[in-house]
Amino acid sequence: MKTSLIEQFDQSRYNLVKWLTVGWAAWFGTFILKDLIDNELIFLQFLIGFVGLIGFVFFAVNLQRYFRLASKVKYSRMNDALNSELNLVYKYKSISLGFFVQLATTGLFYGISPFREIPVRIVCEVILYLGVISTLTAWLTYNRD
């Protein structure tokens, strides 16, 4: 069955964001893991670094492809069809969910802080990681076919 060009672009955008999410999860998740494990475990550090490198490549390639697709759509007649009001609502809902996840994570760390000392670097990385990953997964969930 043949699909229209708009449906093809929409599916392509969905796939790019899906792989962008996987790349972000692997790449930035390894930053947190590297800070949590001992530096004496050289093989584990190497393995985590390798997974992080693969995640970074996925993230960078798909981010570049997403921006190229967005610029191609922006200057075409399909811009209104692909960036409809419903799509904008999904984007704003995803961003607001990511914001509230960051607030909840900050509140959780703030609540834990009197009882346990947590390095600031770990706190910042976890807040950023959870905020971005929740935004991307919410956008994928809202735009499911």
Indicate if 57 and 8 belong to the same structural domain: yes
**String of DSSP letters for 21-53:** HHHHHHHHHHHHHHHHS-TT-HHHHHHHHHHHH
Indicate if 58 and 91 belong to the same structural domain: no
Q: Please name which of 144, 114, 140 lies closest in space to residue 22, comparing C-alpha atoms.
A: 140
Query: End of a domain among 26, 52, 79?
Result: 79
Query: 57-98, pLDDT tens digit by residue?
Result: 988 888 888 788 777 776 666 666 667 777 788 889 999 999
Contacts of 25 (CB under 8 A, 6+ apart): 55, 133
Indicate if 126 and 66 belong to the same structural domain: no
Query: End of a domain among 79, 96, 131?
Result: 79
Q: Averaged over 123-138, what is the pLDDT?
A: 94
Quick one: pLDDT at residue 97?
Answer: 96
- Provide the domain count of the chain: 2
Indicate if 54 and 111 belong to the same structural domain: no
Indicate if 49 and 88 belong to the same structural domain: no
Is the pLDDT at 2 greater than 60? The verdict is no
Indicate if 72 and 139 belong to the same structural domain: no
Better pLDDT: 130 or 6:
130
Indicate if 56 and 110 belong to the same structural domain: no
Q: Averaged over 96-115, what is the pLDDT?
A: 96
Query: End of a domain among 51, 79, 107?
Result: 79
Is the pLDDT at 130 greater than 70? The verdict is yes
Q: Exposed e or buried b for every residue in 39-51, given b needs 16+ CB within 10 A?
A: eeeeeebeebeee
Quick one: pLDDT at residue 129?
Answer: 95
Indicate if 63 and 89 belong to the same structural domain: no
Indicate if 74 and 102 belong to the same structural domain: no
Indicate if 8 and 29 belong to the same structural domain: yes
Indicate if 90 and 66 belong to the same structural domain: no
Is the pLDDT at 137 greater than 90? The verdict is yes
Query: 8-52, pLDDT tens digit by residue?
Result: 777 777 888 888 888 889 988 888 888 777 666 778 888 888 988
Residue numbers of the domain that contains 104:
84-145
Question: Per mean pLDDT, which range of 81-85, 100-104, 117-121 is the poorest?
Answer: 81-85
pTM of the model as a whole: 0.81
Q: Contact at 8 Å (CB) between 49 and 34?
A: yes
Indicate if 62 and 98 belong to the same structural domain: no
